[in-house]
Structure 1
């Protein structure tokens, strides 16, 4: 009988050549990782890569949506303000309302009417109200034009001064 030398491992087509380390392993144990682990690692890498690519785009989209929502709310608030201003404009187009405001704020009177303003020692204004006109109040005086308030303060300041005679 002839003794043959041990057979060298040969590579099959499409497979790498076995190494000595692979030849020394027990049968059935390969040096490669299982297929499901490789697929899981590949899936994790792809998910991380997609997250890196999609995150800036998604954050930009969400920021734009928030800006659009804020702008829409601002537009609605301005529409309400426009409606209120148009309603006020409508009231000012009524001549009766303009006349009433002129009487209250500027103390205008029609020809032939007489207005009395009685002021006592405490400086309280007891103005008589005209027919159809609300009584004058502190709030009405405060709402009078600036020049009326300045003149009123000058008049009140002069009341406290003692009278002097000129030689």
Structure 2
């Protein structure tokens, strides 16, 4: 009869549970081909990086210039519309009336200054809204002003305006 071999019982340790990254790193095998490909990738990045930077800068400049061209085109369109408006006689008349206060002969115009403010005299008394007649002879005042200016030896700073009494 054949003899049976005895097996010896050896305690076996259970493998420790590895995390996925540890397992992945443990199974990496580095070879010459791997180092050569890694070197080629690094060389490509070093060679292409300046060119890529230049391309990106040129794209930014192109975007800025195209937006500037768009702004200038809008400006040209606005100026063309303005020039077309100025060829209309009614527009020219309206601008002359509004900007330079031009009127046609026979027109009655009113120029309102400080609209909404209450006018006051120098002494703080409000100015009357009623029309009043003055008690000053303007013709005599004008003639005396002309004679005074022509015949005096005093300087302009020494001359004063005559004070008109307020009734």
TM-score normalised to structure 2 length:
0.49
Larger relative CO (CA 8 A, sep 6+): 1 or 2?
1
TM-score normalised to structure 1 length:
0.49
